[in-house]
Amino acid sequence: MHRISHHLAVVALVFSLMTGTAEAANLIWVHGPMEDEGKMPGLAIGAAKTTDLSWVHEGMAEEGKITAGFRVGPSFTTQSSGLSTVGPLLNFQGMYGLNRWFRVGMMLEWQNHGVDPGTGSVNTVTLLPVNLEYRPGHFGNLIPYLTTGIGVNINTKNVSDTFAWRLGGGLDYAATNWFPNAPSGMMFNVEAVWKRNHPSGGDASTMGLLFGVRHTF
């Protein structure tokens, strides 16, 4: 029972650190019987700050500031089309806060997918000179957003270049919630995205899941 109680204490501590909603002094481990009521050892939680996940509708785009981002993750083809289903995805972006609600900027993305055995792989470099991001508010410390952009897919292996349309959504979470000494403008980021890529005679569109950091300064 002591071991189970200890595990519960660890889980509670990790959860509080992830959400940034409890102070260290608010978690007190009680080791020993509670003589007054004959209870087993457990975890006493003090006056911790409660998680406030209520929606606040206020622009989070930070007008006049520049945001740079670097993310990596897996890319999944939406059709077989002779391509392997999973490949690496690498993303760079630069954005500018137009006003409280919107950021506009550019994006560069690279991904790779294998083709039928023995024929190598196809690299796709996507250049999006027009990229828009809408940031309507936040749930507590979580900042959701929607993003879309248009540009060109540059494909290798004699695959024709195509028009690119990228559509996705993501979440930002301030790094200072985990690391108090982190730069104030640094955000941990996760983003799910769909990207159109229709070369002649096929469909090489993909779904991607990106993880990384973005910094606003």
At 149 the three-state DSSP class reads strand
Residue 56 pLDDT > 60, yes or no? yes
Lowest mean pLDDT among 39-43, 58-62, 128-132: 39-43
Residue 135 pLDDT: 98
Q: What rounded mean pLDDT belongs to the chain?
A: 82
Mean pLDDT computed over 159-174: 97
Q: What is the pLDDT of residues 107-154, one digit of tens each?
A: 999 999 887 666 678 999 999 999 999 999 999 999 999 999 999 999
Q: Which residue has the higher pLDDT, 186 or 28?
A: 186
pLDDT band at 30 (very low <50, low <70, confident <90, very high): very low
Residue 36 pLDDT > 50, yes or no? no
pLDDT band at 81 (very low <50, low <70, confident <90, very high): low
Supply the pTM of this predicted model.
0.75
At 19 the three-state DSSP class reads helix
User: Read out DSSP for 183-200?
Assistant: -TTEEEEEEEEEE----T
Q: Which domains are assigned to the chain?
A: 2-51 (no CATH), 56-216 (2.40.160.20)
Residue 75 pLDDT: 97
Mean pLDDT computed over 166-189: 96
